[in-house]
């Protein structure tokens, strides 16, 4: 698990600062995919070191989705479970509210004291992040997911296979 939780936490802080509408775990996951996809396309590397698989509705970050499920279902993890360290690292930067809706559980992100630290990112990474965040500032999770299926690589990837 080489996922860069510090960068992910800081991107969430940036999105909260920019007041991204409809920001929940689903929209975040899709936006992280689009950020990594765009950055890899133009700079030949991903920002968050996450793998994304195709599911029926949208690209899904493998490790982060598992962490979100653990949080949403309030699962207990062993002290030495690496996933616990990743969750704690995320919670060092922000709080996560679990909202139980009629048919699903949604995670909302809440800013605490921490501020977005742009020094963690290169100029190119910041440019990619700003581009995607500005492009999808007002977009609903469903519409941003639909945009992913306009990408040839996403369409051509088989369900449950790695996209990037």
User: How many beta carbons lie within 10 A of that of residue 71, not counting itself?
Assistant: 17
Q: Is residue 10 part of a domain?
A: yes
Distance CA 99, CA 159 (A): 28
Whether 163 is covered by a domain: the verdict is: no
pLDDT at position 1 is 59
Q: How many domains does the chain contain in total?
A: 1
36 occurs within a structural domain: yes
The reply to whether 162 falls in a domain is no
Q: Which domain holds residue 140?
A: 5-156
Residue 100, domain member (yes or no): yes
pLDDT digit string, tens, across residues 39-72: 999 999 999 999 999 999 999 999 999 999 999 9
For residue 164, being part of any structural domain is answered with no
Is the model's pLDDT at 83 over the cut of 80? yes
């Amino acid at each position: 698990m080489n996922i860069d939780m510090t960068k992910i936490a800081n991107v969430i802080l940036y999105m909260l600062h920019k007041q991204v509408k409809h920001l929940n775990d689903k929209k975040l996951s899709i936006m992280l995919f689009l950020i990594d996809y765009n950055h890899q396309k133009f700079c030949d590397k991903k920002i968050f070191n996450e793998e994304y698989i195709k599911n029926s509705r949208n690209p899904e970050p493998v490790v982060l989705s598992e962490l979100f499920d653990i949080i949403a279902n309030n699962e207990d993890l062993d002290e030495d479970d690496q996933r616990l360290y990743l969750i704690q690292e995320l919670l060092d930067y922000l709080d996560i509210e679990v909202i139980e809706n009629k048919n699903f559980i949604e995670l909302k992100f809440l800013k605490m004291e921490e501020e977005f630290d742009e020094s963690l990112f290169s100029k190119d990474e910041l440019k990619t992040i700003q581009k995607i965040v500005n492009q999808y500032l007002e977009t609903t999770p469903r519409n941003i997911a639909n945009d992913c299926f306009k990408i040839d690589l996403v369409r051509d990837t088989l369900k449950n296979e790695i996209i990037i």
